[in-house]
Structures are given as C-alpha cells and as structure tokens.
Amino acid sequence: MSEMFATVGTIAAIATAIVPQQGSVGIVRVSGDLALQIAQTLFHAPGKQIWDTHRIIYGYIHHPQTQELVDEALLLIMKAPRSYTREDVVEFHCHGGIMAVQQVLQLCLVNGARLAQPGEFTLRAFLNGRLDLTQAESIADLVGAFSPQAAQAALAGIVGKLARPIQQLRANCLNILAEIEARIDFEEDLAPLDDNYIISEIEKIKAQVTSILATSAKGELLRTGLKIAIVGRPNVGKSSLLNAWSQSDRAIVTDLPGTTRDVVESQLVVAGIPVQVLDTAGIRDTIDQVEKIGVERSRRAASVADLVLLTIDASAGWTQQDQEIYQQVKHRPLILVINKIDIIEEAEIKNLESQIQNCIVKCDNVDTHTFNMIPSIFAAAAKNIGIDALETAILAKVQKGIQAADMDIAINQRQAAALIKAKTSLEQVQATILQQLPLDFWTIDLRGAIQALGEITGEEVTESVLDRIFNKFCIGK
C-alpha cells in the first residue's frame, strides 16, 4: 500500500460532522491494537461497570497527566474481529460542538494513535476481509446520497447485491479457463473441447455483464443528479416557475423585464432524482452592462444543462425572440413550458401547442413527418398549475436512458469501465475461437475478463485504484 494508506498502527478521527452550537453528540473513533489501552487511559467509568465488547459504558474523560475533566461521555467498546474494521475499536460519544471532540481526539493522538487518512477505517475493513470493494464504495454512496432512491441503491450494494453476481460471473469464467487449461496440459487424456459450448457459455456471461452495465446511467443519475436550466425571454414567468416548483421564494418576481440579473439555483428531488434547477436571466439584447452579464451566464447555463425548460408566455404566443432563443438551445434536450395559460381563453390553449410546433418545423425547415415533437407542458406558475405535469415530463425524458434489468443496483463509472473491459475481452475470446486459433490464445483474453471482474470486487486491484477510491471518503469513515 502507498504511504497514504499505510495500515499499521492505531488510528483515530472524528466520525461525526462537527458544527458550532449544533449537534447533540460528537463521536471520536479509534481503531487498532492500542484502542483499548487509550480508552483505559482516558476514560473513567464510575461504579462496577463491565469493560467488555459491545457494551456502552458511562463515565468521564480526563487528561491523563493533569486529571482535568474534559467531558462527560459514553464509551462504546468493539473488540476484534466483531467491529467495522475487524480490529479493536472504541468510540468516545462526547457532547456535540467543537471543543469536546477536538480535545478528546488530541488526547488520543498524544497517547499513541495517529490521525486517520480519508477513508482509512473503511480501507481497513476492506483489507481485513469484512467488505469487498463494491460494498466499500456503496458506503461512500450512502453517506453522500441526495435522495431515498440513491440511499436504497447504496444499501443494495452494501448487502452484496452487486458483489454476488460479479463474483459468480468471475467464477464462471474461471471454470471455463480451467476446462481450457486442462486440455492444454492433458490433451491426450481428455475429450476435445466443444467450441460451440464454450462460445455459448461466454455469451451467457456477456449477457449478464450487459445487463449490469445497463444500470450505469441510473447510477450516474442518482449520484450526480440532473442540472435543469429554465430559459426564455424576460418576463415569461421563469422565476415564478422556480418558486412554484421549489415551494419557496427563491427568485424575485416582478412585472418588470430583466428583474433576474444572475443565475438563481435551487436543489430539488424529483422521484428520487436530485435536481439542480437554474433560473436564468431573460435572454435578450440589452445595453445594461449588468443585465448583459446575466444574459451571457444564462446562455452558458443552458449550454451545460442536462435539460432545458424553454419557457414562453402563452398570452404572447411564439414570438421572434422565442424563436431566436430556441435556435440557441435546440441542440440540448428540451421541454417547452407554455406558461401563463390562466390569462388566455381555453380555446386558444388548444391551438397554441400545434401552432408553436408548426412554427418550429417551418423555421427549422424539417420534414413534418420526421419531426420529433418537443414535449410541451401547459402551466400557470403563479397559481401553481402544471408542476406535476412538468415533473412527469422530466421523468419521461430521462428514464429512457436508465432502463436496466436489475433496478436494485446502480454501478459507478469505475465499475462500468471494468465491465466494459470484461465484455470486450469476452468478445475477443469468442472471435479467437471462431478463428480456430490454438487454445493458448483463448486463455489470454479470458484471463483479461477475469481480471476486470476481479477489479470490481477487489479480488484483483492495484494500489492506485485503492488510492483513488478511498481518497474520496471523509476522514472519519
């Protein structure tokens, strides 16, 4: 292991978020051979409380030299191997805030522990066989989850729903490799290999790999969420839409065009998907230098958004200015929000959508029969009308890319890259067999697939991969 993740000695860290004047409990975690000794040095338990594993003891933390009282606390003892790291672990459950936990941590460091590196507790759990690599990564996902669905996907990983199928696929590849190598070593004593059978078995493994790979888009969506930009000309109701959607007064709303001068952000969750909504300044030509900067930021926000909500004023219809903005954003995934329907007649509403779509077709000079209609939502944001329909349209837009055979799991980018490598190697094995190359050649790419699958669970993993994974963890985890 690298120096960053040297797994020797006893480590200590604050295991809870520390915020001044907030949080009732702060935890200092210690793991390693000296954990119990440090606890006995610092912690005084009155009465006849039993110091035994998986017990919580009440008492006081004292400075060992001055005997000065540091905190009233609880001590949790977890002896190896029945602990998170499979080492001796103690946790000091102190009062929340900053001073108590900082003083306790400092006393632990003075008395033989060293400060843990980011993710080192979980790294030790992995190296000591308590977790595989997919479970370790899922723990980080659970800590960083932005929605219940993201948390459920992380929990599925923690309980092994990803590791088990990957391990089985790797075992199947190893069995095929054993059959091939047996023919190489004992060719005269065994029946010839059935080429079609081997190709068929590899095809089954490949199909399962493809199925798991299909969850990568869902995983990316749950981890990073969607960035959605609300764009349009001034005074079409963009800020009202943000306020109605977020159920707050995040953006200033007036009848004056150009009120929004900068991008206003709001964080939402739509059907379990984290969504960052960007309310942008109205896009128009202006001589106002401040507004001009806001317009440019609006264009940039639209260019990087995963989805653009092109908002228009129903009472004004599709204007030349709307058409110009459409030309700037039409290459992004789009939903058309026809706002302010409460101030026009119902008969006008029915014709407005087709009029807009026909105008887009005409201006873009495309074939009407092949034109892919932009989803349209009718809304009256100021009266909170159309928000449910908008969320339904957003989900319909994004769910095309997240269909998967097993929706319980959601792989990350590292796992997806390893699966792609495994799939490519398996395809190469099939090609090698069809080319009737010697058996030795079959084993080369088959070993490549086995290694790639092993990288996912950690059965075959490099030091640099561990560095990248665990360096993203918080120190106390």
User: Which residue, among 111, 136, 142, 139, has the nearest Cα to 124 in the 3D structure?
Assistant: 136
- Whether 236 and 370 map to the same domain: the answer is yes
Mean pLDDT of the chain: 84
Above 70 in pLDDT, residue 290?
A: no
Contact 44, 71 (CB under 8 A): no
Stretch among 89-98, 298-307, 392-401 having the lowest mean pLDDT: 298-307
| pLDDT confidence bin for 365, thresholds 50/70/90 | low
pLDDT in tens, 166-211: 999 999 999 999 988 888 877 666 777 788 888 999 999 999 999 9
Alpha-carbon distance of 377 to 339, in angstroms, equals 8
- Whether 147 and 7 map to the same domain: the answer is no
- Whether 112 and 227 map to the same domain: the answer is no
Contact 124, 139 (CB under 8 A): no
Q: What is this structure's pTM?
A: 0.76
**CATH number of domain containing 316:** 3.40.50.300
In a domain, 153, yes or no: yes
The number of C-alpha atoms within 13 Å of 311 and in the hemisphere containing its C-beta is 31
In a domain, 316, yes or no: yes
Alpha-carbon distance of 284 to 415, in angstroms, equals 45
Above 90 in pLDDT, residue 96?
A: no
pLDDT in tens, 226-246: 888 888 888 888 888 888 888
What is the average pLDDT across 420-443?
92
- Whether 89 and 236 map to the same domain: the answer is no
Q: How far apart are the first and last CA of the chain?
A: 18
The more confident residue out of 129 and 297 is 129
In a domain, 301, yes or no: yes
pLDDT of residue 415: 94
What is the average pLDDT across 306-316?
88
**CATH number of domain containing 205:** 1.20.120.430
Above 90 in pLDDT, residue 305?
A: no
pLDDT of residue 4: 46
Answer with the one of 132, 154, 179 that is the final residue of a domain: 132
Give how many domains the chain has, as a whole number. 3
Above 60 in pLDDT, residue 283?
A: no
- Whether 246 and 263 map to the same domain: the answer is yes
In a domain, 477, yes or no: no
The more confident residue out of 184 and 41 is 41
- Whether 238 and 146 map to the same domain: the answer is no
Domain containing 175: what range? 141-215+408-458
- Whether 350 and 436 map to the same domain: the answer is no
- Whether 386 and 415 map to the same domain: the answer is no
**CATH number of domain containing 119:** 3.30.1360.120
- Whether 344 and 372 map to the same domain: the answer is yes
pLDDT of residue 169: 96
Highest mean pLDDT among 324-333, 351-360, 410-419: 410-419
pLDDT of residue 306: 84
Cβ-count burial of 299 within 10 angstroms (0-12 exposed, 13-18 middle, 19+ buried)?
middle
pLDDT of residue 226: 84
In a domain, 467, yes or no: no
- Whether 110 and 8 map to the same domain: the answer is yes
User: Which residue, among 136, 222, 129, 130, has the nearest Cα to 409 in the 3D structure?
Assistant: 222
Q: Strand ranges (DSSP E) for 340-463?
A: 376-378
What is the average pLDDT across 88-96?
95
pLDDT of residue 425: 96
- Whether 345 and 421 map to the same domain: the answer is no
Stretch among 79-88, 227-236, 275-284, 289-298 having the lowest mean pLDDT: 289-298
Above 60 in pLDDT, residue 374?
A: yes
Above 50 in pLDDT, residue 131?
A: yes
Cβ-count burial of 227 within 10 angstroms (0-12 exposed, 13-18 middle, 19+ buried)?
middle
The more confident residue out of 7 and 109 is 109
In a domain, 468, yes or no: no
Kind plus residue range of the DSSP H or E element containing 94 = strand 89-95
**β-pairing verdict for 25-31 and 11-14:** antiparallel
| pLDDT confidence bin for 288, thresholds 50/70/90 | low
What is the average pLDDT across 40-50?
94
In a domain, 470, yes or no: no
| pLDDT confidence bin for 78, thresholds 50/70/90 | very high
pLDDT of residue 30: 97
In a domain, 471, yes or no: no
pLDDT of residue 7: 62
Percent of the chain past pLDDT 90, that is, above it, reads 40
Alpha-carbon distance of 156 to 394, in angstroms, equals 26
pLDDT of residue 366: 60
- Whether 396 and 247 map to the same domain: the answer is yes
